[in-house]
Structure 1
Amino acid sequence: MKNIKTGIYVLVPLLISITTPSLANGLEEGQTQSERAAGTEFFFSDDSEGFQTRKLSAEFLPQYENADHYLGVRASAYQYKAEDWSRDGQKISFIGREIDSATANGWSLEAGVFEQGDHTLFTFDGSYRTPLAQKTVLEVFANRDWVETQSALDQGTNFTFVGAALDQGLGEHVTVIGVAGSQFFSDDNRRDHGRIKLIYQPSLDLGLTLQARYRTYRSSEEDVGGAYFNPQDYEESMLALGWRKRFAGWSAGLTAGFGREKINADPSQSTRLFELNLQSPIRGSQFLRMNAGYNRSASFYGPDYDYHYIKGEWIVRF
């Protein structure tokens, strides 16, 4: 059964946003901007318990300036599989993004209707980031979606996750990020989350970061009928190394982390995290980004749960 913790990694882009270069690069001199674009998006994931997720989307963007400024719609087809069980889903969404290229401040939103089995859900995934002072930034976020396990999808179990992140720069080389949020499940379970992340850049020119991460959550209901992985108390501490490189307008990044997690009163055990990303500049009429990741942690059946994914998006102006 898929580990519900994978769904919590919606926070990861929020936590690393200060070190992520803008998706928007200017067009080459003399080129004319188009106001329309179309694209495709995909997401594939597998885990060591045999649960698979497949997603393929088509996008139409009638208002498109660049990859940080657009409005449009997205139609997505989902397929979930686990041994001899499978489930199809369909989602139609409004999507929008208005992000300042230099500061990463602004908003992004995906809101739509998601049908799977006999269940229908209004879903959304949005954030708003704004500066409070020269080196202080506040980000608020909200996410509502299905819990992606076989049992939870059959029951129509969903969650709503709301919270805020505060970024505080300490000099030129150190940033501290704190996150607090609550996750409300439709089965009356509630999780309260807390995270803190310390980022050190030894050189502003190398693209290298050293990171210390800590996260914890507490669930109000320990027994959810086996619908998803749900320890009452969870903690993870991790040390990670991040690297980002730009070349000819492209950017590539790598994050590798090793940590320890503690579940309820059980002895602690090791965790691992690896992430890769590649992103193109906007040259002429196309934009491309790719991400892949791997995580090892605990699940129902012990400490050796593996989860890996790949996703990408390709946008073409016309």
Structure 2
Amino acid sequence: MTSFLSLPVVSPRSIPTAFSLKRPFIQTPPTLHFKNHRFAVSCSYAEAGVSGDSKLSTIDVVADVKSERIVVLGGNGFVGSAICKAAVSKGIEVISLNRSGRPTYSGSWVDQVTWIPGDVFYVNWDEVLLGATAVVSTLGGFGSEEQMIKINGEANVVAVNAAKEYGIPKFILISVHDYNLPSFLLSSGYFTGKRKAESEVLSKYPNSGIVLKPAFIYGKRRVDGFEIPLDLVGEPAEKFLKAIENFTKPLSSLPASDLLLAPPVSVDDVALAVINGVTDDDFFGVFTIDQIKEAAEKIRL
């Protein structure tokens, strides 16, 4: 976030060089102005001996102050950790809320994240959301119908409402591609929960809510201390499907065709798309696979 400092100008006649002053000048006390997380400092200078009704000249100095502070729900998971790492690399302050707290593996970026162990259903949001500029939710998972509705839907609904109540400007949800599935398959607890969460984000944050809908996400995933190289499958598949997309487009209308034809998405692309959402106020709404990759490229450049 960029903040603007409004500082006075000392006219060339007042200070002819950086090392000599022909005449003294007088500074009035600075005034601070705050508005929507931006601030300005206004000061006035006048030459000694100059009449009080003389106009004072001013200068605007723009300073880039990194003041984004995001809360990542599920920050030590596969997608969540990639988001935390990308945010840290961009100078964004990161807080992660997840059940197990700090991950067991090491990394320079890990030390720069504030890890809070907790459950969205019972957490003290005062400790988590204070000063945040965006909440990013990676909450989701599989299980029984009841469990999937709870973790994919209800948990995210609780988080969205907490963020809204605390006045957090943005909410970003990592959801899932529909895969062009027939409606009876989309009625499962997994997709029902996801759709419920999406609806809550777009309802409570119509002009700043973000829903990313990637397909299969690949990268190096850590499970119980082991690293699973999903990129060995996902990356070639993404390149192959990209190369033949002109031939497969006519098939996209077939039910469930995207189970085979939807290109995988790199976990790094998902993370960078989130960063784009955090830093770009014009980035909101629902984003498809291709749009996620486009958003990531903006940050990568």
TM-score by length of 1: 0.28
TM-score, length-normalised on structure 2? 0.29
**Which structure has the larger Rg?**
2
